[in-house]
Structure 1
């Protein structure tokens, strides 16, 4: 029989599985999936365990459901034994249980906030329209295949540019002097859209022809840059239906970020 790797969400699902009450060992209440030495594992807890497994890419099946319940029974047995061994009130247990509670409440608060402030279809349509309008009159997505060299000073950048102008390849110069991690790939960045880069870069990138290097070093907060346009391509944007899920996810992340920013602004946070 094919085995399933059950990776229950740490903390939240396990805590739900273990919040059980002592009950008659010979009878199960209506919402019980199992009893372990008189402690009940509820159907709701099992269902949350199954949903956690499904969210990690596993397929719903009787085998999966049996495995989830089996894992919860094992957890209940181990937790009961830990209680008997006096581990439940140890400093380590109290710290971990406090973290589990905190993580669960944080997830619950965020999900509650999102249920009260959902991303509507109208929000998604408006964002899609905005993104399409930003493509300009031709309505095409333009992508640029870019390589870069990053150095600490303007003089270093000018020296690198001089080497390239004398015929040395961009990737060879990048491998020898660039401070960026992509130096090992000859400075290759990959395909980007102009809007995904900072204005200092995009304003130069959009003026380059294929194979051309920026005519002067570009000053950035991280140092001085030289960029090379390796290639350029245009493509039609996705339809609304094709883009809907991605836009929804982006808007949800934006809402969550804004909510957390509000909480930060109203909090007294002291960091050592």
Structure 2
């Protein structure tokens, strides 16, 4: 079994901390931390660990902020600094693998900063948000649909899923087991959607036309009898519920619309900038 470097380090440190718990406890009681600067978590062999790193680690963990968890992360950060210093003393920083990682990290950071400084998306005005709201409302039909989507990569898997559905396995359970879509963790659940019928291309609120056409033929609780081909994916759809369309007010939608337009503007600006850079470059393939 292959283990990546970050996983190996994390597992090794977790094990070491468990073994070294008495040592940390002794250090904690024998050394007074009151002399540390307020912005310093700890000092290891004269090297300060910024307190901000603890906050970063806590936020990345997305766990409740508790004293025990803070102690655990503090110990891990100290252990990592001890190991880093050991590696430095033995000149690991000059090893090819380390230099390659440093170069890759540098390239990623400078590219991200370069894009941030040079990509200027179109400002999203209130008029644009209002126009998009009326466009969305104009595409709504008399009914709206609550869907669950299960996407797989081939017909054989789709047939297996349909067979298990017929045998009584819950749709959302099969989504979590088989689906390759981003909605997998939510059991394939999608937001309510409404479109005019009969469904026509480009007027289905982002739902693929073949899926929209199939949905209108289902009763609430029904599942498509056969997989629907959407590009290179096979889609199985369950209609959870349907109801008369409830048109949201502008105030209810304006925040989400503005965010969507901002994402689209950023994508368009990025594509234009990158395309221009590519055209000016001399590229041999």
TM-score by length of 2: 0.50
Name the SS for the 1:48 alignment partner.
helix
Match of 1:197 among 199, 203, 207: 207
Q: Which residue of 1 aligns with 2:95?
A: 90
* Partner Cα distance (1:34, 1:129) in 2: 57
Contact 2:41 2:54 in 1 (8 A): yes
Match of 1:233 among 233, 242, 262: 242
Q: Which residue of 2 aligns with 1:36?
A: 44
Q: 1:179 and 1:213, CA in 2 relative to 1: closer, same or farther beyond 3 A? A: closer
- Count of aligned pairs: 211
Contact 1:212 1:230 in 2 (8 A): yes
Does residue 186 of structure 2 align to residue 186 of structure 1? no
* Partner Cα distance (1:53, 1:74) in 2: 18
* Partner Cα distance (2:45, 2:88) in 1: 13
* Partner Cα distance (2:55, 2:148) in 1: 46
Contact 1:205 1:229 in 2 (8 A): no
Structure 2 runs not aligned, ≥5 long: 1-6, 11-33, 166-174, 176-187, 194-203
Q: Which residue of 2 aligns with 1:165?
A: none
Q: Which residue of 2 aligns with 1:100?
A: 105
Q: Hey, which of these two has a bigger chunk of helix by percent?
A: 2
* Partner Cα distance (1:69, 1:84) in 2: 23
Matches of residues 1-272 of structure 1 in structure 2 within 5 Å? Answer: 28-54=36-62, 58-105=63-110, 130-136=135-141, 138=142, 140-143=143-146, 179=155, 181-186=157-162, 194-199=204-209, 201=210, 204-205=213-214, 208=217, 210=219, 222=232, 233-234=242-243, 237=246, 250-251=260-261, 253-268=263-278
Q: Which residue of 1 aligns with 2:180?
A: none
* Partner Cα distance (2:123, 2:216) in 1: 41
Name the SS for the 1:141 alignment partner.
strand
Higher-RCO chain (CA-CA 8 Å, sequence separation at least 6): 2
Q: CA deviation at 1:77?
A: 0.9
Name the SS for the 1:41 alignment partner.
strand
Q: 1:146 and 1:50, CA in 2 relative to 1: closer, same or farther beyond 3 A? A: closer
Q: Which residue of 1 aligns with 2:198?
A: none
* Partner Cα distance (1:85, 1:53) in 2: 31
Map Cα deviations across residues 120-172 of structure 1 (whole Å, 9 max, x no partner): 99877765554344324x4x423467899x9xxxxxxxxxxxxxxxxxxxxxx
Map Cα deviations across residues 12-53 of structure 1 (whole Å, 9 max, x no partner): xxxxxxxxxxxxxx9744532221111111123332222222
Contact 1:213 1:226 in 2 (8 A): no
TM-score by length of 1: 0.52
Alignment RMSD, CA only?
Answer: 5.2
Contact 1:145 1:232 in 2 (8 A): no
* Partner Cα distance (2:236, 2:69) in 1: 51
